[in-house]
Amino acid sequence: MKGLILNNLYSVEKSVKFSSLLTAVVVVLLLLMNHSAALKLAGFLPFVLIPVHAFDILKYDAISGWNKYEIILPVTRKRIIESKYLTFILLFIFSFLLVFCIAYVIHLFLLPTMHSVFFNYLLRAMGLIICIAALVYPLTFRLGTEQSDSIMMGSLGITLGIYFVTVFMLEVFIGEVEDFDEKFSIIFFIASVLFLLISYVISVYIYKNKEF
């Protein structure tokens, strides 16, 4: 398992390093603006630039032929799927730690950045990228990497639909309460995590029955 994850990370190492550096610079500049819109963007940006590289791994595996080789390794297909999801989770956690540490240092020494607006949009960004991952993986295993661009665009569209439907449903059931934004951010994040777990089960089923 460790070897599979390391192989995944090595294949996107350069892209992740560049995106991380770009993210750090831009997030610092956004937070120093100390503006509501800048705080929202700072919460979104890391998850737009870094965890998405986990999806590129599927494409690189197909191009290099690694996806056909790894199935003959002494590991189960379930383990292979686990390695893909865990690689995404590692990049996801790294993105969170990066933006949180930057925000905390700036908050501690320069400007107050730990506002509810920042945390709300941080949770929403995490929920969105998790939902996208929950769709990209099973769809790619089912349809193939040749459709990766279409799958990515379709997953983004479906995720945004889920996002706005969740907003609408909460407005219907709990109304415009004082802490609506906080409740929505937490509920959407929790729902996205559950969605990812379901996605994992579906991906394992698809991959076990996949012919190469």
Q: Express each pLDDT in 132-152 by its tens digit.
A: 999 999 998 888 778 878 888
The two structure tokens encoding residue 3: 């070897």
Rg (CA), the chain: 18
C-alpha triplet 35, 38, 44: angle, nearest 5°: 145
pLDDT of residue 68: 67
Considering the chain, what is the average pLDDT of its residues?
84
**Structure confidence by residue, pLDDT tens digits, 159-185:** 888 888 887 777 777 766 677 778 888
User: Of the spans 33-37, 56-60, 95-99, which averages the highest pLDDT?
Assistant: 95-99
Euclidean distance between CA atoms 107 and 132, whole angstroms: 30
Cβ atoms within 10 Å, residue 7: 15
The two structure tokens encoding residue 143: 């349809």
Sign of CA dihedral 86, 163, 148, 205: positive
In the chain, the percentage of residues whose pLDDT exceeds 70 is 91
Query: Average pLDDT, stretch 114-128?
Result: 84
- Report yes or no: 163 and 128 within 8 Å, Cβ to Cβ: yes
Helix, strand counts (H, E) of the chain: 9, 0
Q: Is the pTM of this model over 0.75?
A: yes
Q: Count Cβ atoms within 10 A of the Cβ of residue 70 and give its class: 0-12 exposed, 13-18 middle, 19 or more buried.
A: middle
- Report yes or no: 200 and 81 within 8 Å, Cβ to Cβ: yes
Which contacts qualify for 143-150: CB closer than 8 Å, 24 or more apart?
A: 144/62, 145/58, 145/59, 145/61, 145/62, 145/63, 148/55, 148/58, 148/59
17 Cβ contact list (under 8 Å, min separation 6): none
**pLDDT band at residue 66 under the 50/70/90 scheme:** low
**Structure confidence by residue, pLDDT tens digits, 200-211:** 999 988 887 776
198 Cβ contact list (under 8 Å, min separation 6): 134
